């Protein structure tokens, strides 16, 4: 991953911005959502990528330490996924008009400015 970040730093325009946008490895609530109410029915396991997330975090920290990038901003926010197609049966569509399934996923957005030319 550090090699990839070095290549990005090499080709990125002067004062260009690297954007790191990815879901956070965590449990994600699953809800039935209707116009009248929201009902939690379970949790999705979003922790399977924790090792990859840690590796990505270490790689960007290393790239910052090498002076390739300067951290600008890091925020976390919820990103909601909705599915209407779970109610394909005609009977469910008629009875559950407006019912959707929602998965709320924590998401991280970080930006880094290119600091100086990357090594050759």
Q: 62-109 pLDDT, tens per residue?
A: 999 999 999 999 999 999 999 886 665 555 555 556 788 999 999 999
Which residues lie closer than 8 Å to 66 by C-beta, 6 or more apart? 6
pLDDT of residue 91: 53
Is the pLDDT at 118 greater than 70? The verdict is no
pLDDT of residue 89: 56
Listed ranges 16-30, 79-93, 104-118; the one with the highest mean pLDDT: 16-30
Specify whether the backbone of 19 is left (phi greater than 0), alpha (psi in -120 to 50) or beta.
beta
**pLDDT band (50, 70, 90) for residue 14:** confident
**pLDDT band (50, 70, 90) for residue 112:** very high
Is the pLDDT at 43 greater than 90? The verdict is yes
Per DSSP, the three-state class of 88 is coil
pTM of the model: 0.75
CB atoms within 10 A of CB 110: 17
Is the pLDDT at 38 greater than 80? The verdict is yes
Q: Calculate the average pLDDT of the chain.
A: 87
What would the mean pLDDT of 26-54 be, rounded to a whole number?
Answer: 91
């Amino acid at each position: 991953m550090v090699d990839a970040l070095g290549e990005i730093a090499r080709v990125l325009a002067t004062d260009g911005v690297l954007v790191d946008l990815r879901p956070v490895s965590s449990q994600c609530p699953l809800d039935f959502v209707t116009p009248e109410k929201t009902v939690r029915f379970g949790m999705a396991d979003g922790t399977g990528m924790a090792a990859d997330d840690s590796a990505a975090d270490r790689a960007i920290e290393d790239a910052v330490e090498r002076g390739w990038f300067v951290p600008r901003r890091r925020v976390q926010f919820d990103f909601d996924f909705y599915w209407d197609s779970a109610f394909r049966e005609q009977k469910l569509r008629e009875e559950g008009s407006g019912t959707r399934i929602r998965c709320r996923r924590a998401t991280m957005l970080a930006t880094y400015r290119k600091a100086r030319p990357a090594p050759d």
